Structure 1
């Protein structure tokens, strides 16, 4: 697909002034120049034109808010002064896999005062003996070259994913709402546990009361039985006494 048609397809009935991120990859520029982009993309912040056959950036329109530009795997060899004029706010530039051979080709990038991250791996310039030291010396505003700082520390994930996080971030207050919902859920669980405990305690108390009543009934039964036995024994003794009296009468 031609680059111009691809951009039109990605636009998808949107107003160019509303587009913040535009990804145009693996299509083809008819003459090695940027096609289909205009000055109307005033809000564009992220632009990816990977593997589209670009040999020049001279026709890149003015993009005042562009901060991240991906043009890796093309055949760009120079002419980077266009970026200083058209994209003065760039913070990240990926030129890996292009035809840049000398440090002098990137010297103009020192005028991009906000440039913090630059990628040049798989370019011929990256094979120079003094490549890393030379780039950092030439572009003192840089923090990372090919994903590493001057102390050979890798770019932190938080910074590498910063752009994605900003694009995916929800409206302000979403995190607070989620925290409040989690807190409410935790409180509800605690209430349920507490209620369950109280109910269990109540049931246990009822069972204990029932056992106590049964014990009392058993004790009462024992007392009543003892009384009956006592009454019987008393009656038996009286009967024995009567028999003895009768025997005395007969002897007389």
Structure 2
């Protein structure tokens, strides 16, 4: 039960204050020994705790999902390998694996009640795994998403053919490796917030995304916010908060 449901039951006499106190305590965290799962994050932040799959065993992920599912659905797990998903899928039969995004969702994803959307743009095809992480994250949080892939500056006419779609978005996520120039180009063409994601795609002096990161941080286009290298999840989280401002 949510906190509001518990309090309503106290108000109508269906629960005693001692019973409600116990339930509210249980609503805050779930101690699993190896993890202390935050069950009240959605009430505080509007978005439930998200599971970072890298570094966790399949059994640990199953236990965390089951703890979270008492409070909220859908549940998102990021950075999950297909091998690890194969190990846990029988224990979570309603789980869906999004292979390119390396994400797992559990529970039905509610559709947005508005026509507002987040545009997710990539410079190259190789940036798509990070873009899909961003897109799946945004969709799990209840946003409409439009994907615009492989429109980098090496063939900038591809970007211009999609400009109407990009300009109508409420937030734009730009994902680019190599030199990361696409964020500056898009930032100079739109009147909405742009969240730039540098990727580790590129040859030697890309330095695993450092070159793209520095380019984006030093952009002369105003209104660009930059997240960490390969952090599609972080970009989508912020974009979702912006998209839901009314």
TM-score (norm 1): 0.28
> If each structure's helix is expressed as a fraction of its own residues, which one has the higher value?
1
> Could you say which structure has the larger radius of gyration?
1
> If each structure's strand is expressed as a fraction of its own residues, which one has the higher value?
2
Point out which structure has higher relative CO (alpha carbons under 8 A, 6+ apart): 2
